[in-house]
Amino acid sequence: MDLIIRNGTIVDGSGLPGYRGDIGIDAGRIVSVGRPLAATDGDHVIDATGRIVAPGFVDPHTHLDAQLLFDPFVYPTIEHGITTVVTGNCSLSMAPVRTEHRDRFSRMFRLIEEMPAAAFDSGVDWRWGESFEGLLDTLASDLAVNVAPLVGHSVLRMYVLGDDSRRPATALELEAMCVALRVCLDAGAVGLSTSFVDIEEDMRPVPCRWADSSELEALCAVLGERGRMLQIVHEFFDAELTVSRVEMLGDLSRRHGIPTTLSPLFHSAASPKSTELVMAAVNREVANGARVWPQVQTRPIDISWTLDQRSIMFLVIPGWWPVLSLPTKAEKLEALTDPETRAMLIAGLEQLAALPGSTMNSASFVIREVVLDKNRHLVGRTVGEAAAERGTSAPDALIDIAVEEDLGTWFMRPNIGHVDAAAVGALLAHPHVHVGASDVGAHVGSFSTYGDIGFLMSQFVRTTGALRIEDAVKKVTSDPCVIWGLEGRGLLREGYAADVVVFDAATIDRGPEIASGDFPGGGTRWIRHSVGIDAVIVNGALTWTSADGYVEGVRAGVVATR
């Protein structure tokens, strides 16, 4: 055998109790599960004594589309035990995109995913041309993780309607979209993604939001021909709208025989009953024969930002987005020091802070990184504390500190939602909830999206006991493979793809958030390394170990839908 994992506790992804045994791997497949194997039977042996041996984890909501093109390991995703990622979420995929639409697509992608322009432009070379099949061929030639790609609804609309995509499609255009979707599905797309919330750079809705209901109906009929997934980003800020989307998905699922998923579902301190309303709707639809899977994030969200770049946080603060969209730092500094503009910005912050139940209070923002030595003592303190020290208001202190540091200060809005661990744990344990919506690869300059599964294991298995470890593993292995139709993955079974993770149940966690400048073109992004994971195997190839990091030259990933 190529590889033997000995003496571990096998948690096979089925939800059944773990047991002591060995795993044998050969030619990329699992060939033995549970039976004792001699060390001499394998070319390489991993001693997993005291460790959990589980199927590789699946992340169903990522935005690694661009990063995969310049980083086949999608650092640091694999070290968190993730062996399969779903890309093309939120109506955006890297194909099919016509040459003349690349600039518009790039601006839309960079805005929604908050990726620095330098990173996208220097890392994405469009070498595959325009087709979805060409994109997947390009990825498959240099890939260390498995990819299950969605095709984006906004991209399909641009491909067929061109720049005139802000209107309903004609009958002929809709037929052309259906043909294009079939081509993408046959090439390896796992389904279609659409969005009801995202915007373009000019603050107008993304192309898919201009579609009428008959368009989504026709595209779902095509998905029904192949039994493929419909993924939507819904109006997660409004419980009643979300319930309507659940009912819409239930109807589409039943009539076309397709799985559906909506992302993300948050437990919010401002509206603690909203998830109860949504899950009641999900329960009704499932009881009536639909497949509707809400995706729930495991982690609280901490948004990090500077005033030198746009962040999704500022979309909801009156007056801020146009200022942060100014093209140069000099123009932003001029606006922030202009008395009239500054008064407008401060009023916007105060207006939101005064709303009932608002968590948007600048006094609670944390100063996480500074440029000047004289401000070093402010790191880790709130803007409110800095304001008291300076004898000014919190909004004034925020702007003053940023300006005096040439907009290099990093601030953080901490712990948005998910403040009730018991409520979130119960939600994650619900049989109809899909653990997902990590957003890994998106918002790279705002918040770290790495370590969701480590946080699931540490917080909701080890600390609160909301899930058994067998249930948690099932939630992130066999469940997503069944939901997304990824056959032959997600279980430690003979004949299955050898995607395996070895980890320590007593220590697995997400590491501390750190600033990294590793993207092409420079710029800061926030990442977390893994804690408690020993080894990650992708299609039988040892790809990462805690001792040695990424194994040089290993590229065992595949397009999982092919």
Instruction: Report residue 416's pLDDT band, with 50, 70 and 90 as the boundaries.
Output: low
Distance CA 445, CA 92 (A): 19
Cross-strand pairs, 546: none
CB 486 within 8 A of CB 498: no
Tell me, what's the pLDDT at 437? 64
Mean pLDDT along residues 199-220: 93
Distance CA 478, CA 14 (A): 7
How does pLDDT run across 80-130, given as a tens digit for each residue? 999 999 999 999 999 999 999 999 999 999 888 777 777 788 889 999 999
Mean pLDDT along residues 334-363: 85
Mean pLDDT along residues 383-394: 94
Q: Report the residue count for the chain.
A: 562
Mean pLDDT along residues 423-447: 79
3-state secondary structure 98-143: CHHHHHHHHHHHHHHHCCCHHHHHHHCCCCCCCCHHHHHHHHHCCC
More reliable by pLDDT, 318 or 560: 560
| E-strand stretches of 134-268 | 146-152, 191-195, 229-233, 260-265
Greatest mean pLDDT range, 107-121, 413-427, 497-511: 497-511
Of the candidates 362, 354, 413, 355, which has an alpha carbon nearest to the alpha carbon of residue 387?
362
Greatest mean pLDDT range, 126-130, 319-323, 355-359: 126-130
Tell me, what's the pLDDT at 215? 98
Whether residue 408 has pLDDT greater than 80: yes
Mean pLDDT along residues 460-472: 97
Tell me, what's the pLDDT at 360? 73
Give the residue carrying structure tokens 């029904």.
Answer: 224
Tell me, what's the pLDDT at 202? 81
Instruction: Report residue 181's pLDDT band, with 50, 70 and 90 as the boundaries.
Output: very high
Domain ranges of the chain: 310-416
Average pLDDT, the chain: 91
CB 236 within 8 A of CB 242: yes
Tell me, what's the pLDDT at 281? 97
Of the candidates 502, 395, 558, 551, which has an alpha carbon nearest to the alpha carbon of residue 55?
502
Tell me, what's the pLDDT at 270? 63
Mean pLDDT along residues 499-523: 84
The single-letter DSSP state of residue 97 is: -
- Triad 248, 249, 255: Cα angle to 5°: 95
Question: What DSSP assignment string belongs to 282-297?
Answer: HHHHHHTT--EEEEE-
Lowest mean pLDDT, pick from 88-92, 191-195, 201-205, 254-258: 201-205
Mean pLDDT along residues 461-481: 97
Decide: pTM greater than 0.85: yes
- Note the helical H segments in 257-318: 274-287
